[in-house]
Chains A and B, each alone.
Chain A
């Protein structure tokens, strides 16, 4: 197994800060760091998900000057996204089929995606809201990362692309056995929910009262969608002053009534239950149907931060039982 001492790794990361923009967890969000001493990766998940980096909450599409001449600035800098968790790394991959399409590629997302090395950190101590194993993934799933680190006492074990391992000076060493042990222990702590046939089960629930019942306590605050690492819905708005303006892309949420509200007054999803149906269906029915993947990675943020304790795991269980 590839192995490197933590000290050597962090020194190397510090060296790379000039060559790359390095983004890493700082408290409850992901920010650019200028020195590894700014890092704080003690907590498991940052409150704000990885999409804050890959798909910022407010992003400039283009700007114009007084004469309405349009100028496009797409940041083009090699970056390292360090220290996010495997679920957040996999969440970035769920954006690909929507934003990386042949017909209409999204240059803002694509450029950042291509320029970024994703280094995730396995979860030795998963939280009780985690349910990543339900998706065939786990606390040490390297599938969304260029490099996955496994934290040992003094060393990191590395799983990932050869050139990235080389970049950080990983060397051949022991550790398979320890890794298996850590992995098994961690996976035991994660709740595994049965998702078998959920797509078909949801199809059957479509014209029933199910969503009305589950949406009763929801207050439509949208926290679940803003903190969800896979939710990508956005709004496009203009900001203008006398000397020019910007067209911005801002996060939006399917939980908001105004999201689908048409100027004519018609609103196809005016009832709460239709919006709830949209959110659940998009993640567990439409996404599997269209792209053969779930629109959920089991990070548990929507469970932790919902002000009315709406628990998606319980909803999945209800869906399983409703049939």
Chain B
């Protein structure tokens, strides 16, 4: 019988800090024995540091890549342990867990990806998957924001995607040293401000991809068409709260908005009991839910 609690040994092949303040670290892992398992973008793993514990993290690499990537914010005991890792160090890995993004359902559709902060990890996985299978999908629009430019993840890749014709990428930042309240001026040179009072009236010039705004405002300004489109959203609760109404206003019905949720988890396999929302377990039945499914559940998220 396979024991789902036993972590499999993996080696850190690459470790680097993602942000200037060293709060975010990216590690690439490979199993010591055997190939990487097959998975769907949006699934997660439990990373173990023996002696410290384990915690769940979304997989940031795509199934087509030959490593497993995770980007981790330093917050608690386990994440601090991960921040201390260097190339060649070993960790334990369990997974993949969860349902992942509905990549089959999205086939033939236009896709709008909305993300904020370091929740972008599993969406990197999704975007690379979509680009790899580009002919199966319609237009891809990505709206992604963070407080500062250095908190945007995977900046090299973002730069490449900005140049590509088959994906429309819109980035935003919202923080400037010393500023108070919403910014009417560029937070940094090259980051265009938008009409804050009525974001939807902002005129977006062709080729301009960087803005000073909050994610919901940028979604409102970009106004991605809901026609034949699905929205995939992942971000902090406050971003979700303000982005949902914008998407609804644009005309996305709740069954075409997909959310990836986060919860405190221990087992990752629907047993330890803490990650449930009503009768659904985020680890086993999620972490990706359509807004329609979430509307049926108690308002515990």
Q: Is B76 an interface residue (CB 8 A)?
A: yes
Q: Which residue of A lies closest to B275 (CB)?
A: A260
B272, A61: Cβ atoms closer than 8 Å = no
**Contact digits for A225-242, partner B, Cβ 8 Å, 1 yes 0 no:** 000000011111110100
Q: Is A169 an interface residue (CB 8 A)?
A: no
Give the secondary structure class of A's interface: mixed
A237, B53: Cβ atoms closer than 8 Å = yes
- Choose among B2, B4, B50 the residue with the greatest number of A CB atoms under 10 Å from its CB: B50
Binds B, one of A261-269, A300-308, A314-322: A261-269
Q: Is B207 an interface residue (CB 8 A)?
A: no
**Contact digits for B233-260, partner A, Cβ 8 Å, 1 yes 0 no:** 0000100000000000000000000000
**Contact digits for A248-285, partner B, Cβ 8 Å, 1 yes 0 no:** 01001010000111111010110000100110011001
The smallest beta-carbon distance between B117 and chain A, in angstroms, is 11
Binds B, one of A77-85, A102-110, A183-191: A102-110
A236, B272: Cβ atoms closer than 8 Å = yes
Cβ contact of B263, chosen from A72, A206, A260, A282, cutoff 8 A: A260
Q: Is B132 an interface residue (CB 8 A)?
A: no
B50, A233: Cβ atoms closer than 8 Å = no
Q: Which residue of A lies closest to B271 (CB)?
A: A98
A249 CA to B3 CA in the complex, in Å? 14
The smallest beta-carbon distance between A240 and chain B, in angstroms, is 4
Binds A, one of B15-23, B36-44, B136-144, B293-301: B293-301
A87 CA to B4 CA in the complex, in Å? 30
Range class of the B interface residue count: 35 or more
The smallest beta-carbon distance between A66 and chain B, in angstroms, is 11
Residues of B within 8 A of A9 (CB): none
Cβ contact of A262, chosen from B7, B263, B276, cutoff 8 A: B263
A234, B1: Cβ atoms closer than 8 Å = no
Given contacts A233-B273, A252-B273, contact A104 B300 (CB under 8 A): no
**Contact digits for B267-283, partner A, Cβ 8 Å, 1 yes 0 no:** 10111111111110000
B300, A238: Cβ atoms closer than 8 Å = no
Q: Is B54 an interface residue (CB 8 A)?
A: yes
Given contacts A263-B79, A285-B279, contact A254 B5 (CB under 8 A): no
Residues of B within 8 A of A210 (CB): none
B300, A269: Cβ atoms closer than 8 Å = yes
- Choose among A254, A266, A268, A278 the residue with the greatest number of B CB atoms under 10 Å from its CB: A268
Given contacts A245-B51, A274-B300, contact A260 B6 (CB under 8 A): no
Q: Is B105 an interface residue (CB 8 A)?
A: no
Cβ contact of B270, chosen from A104, A245, A289, cutoff 8 A: A104
| Complex A-B: 21 CB contacts under 8 Å | A98-B270, A103-B269, A104-B269, A105-B1, A106-B4, A206-B298, A207-B298, A234-B271, A240-B51, A245-B50, A247-B5, A252-B273, A254-B273, A254-B274, A259-B264, A260-B264, A260-B275, A263-B264, A268-B263, A281-B278, A286-B276
Which residues from chain A sit less than 8 Å from chain B, CB to CB?
61-62, 64, 68, 70, 72, 98-99, 101, 103-107, 110, 206-207, 232-238, 240, 245, 247, 249, 252, 254, 259-264, 266, 268-269, 274, 277-278, 281-282, 285-286, 289-290
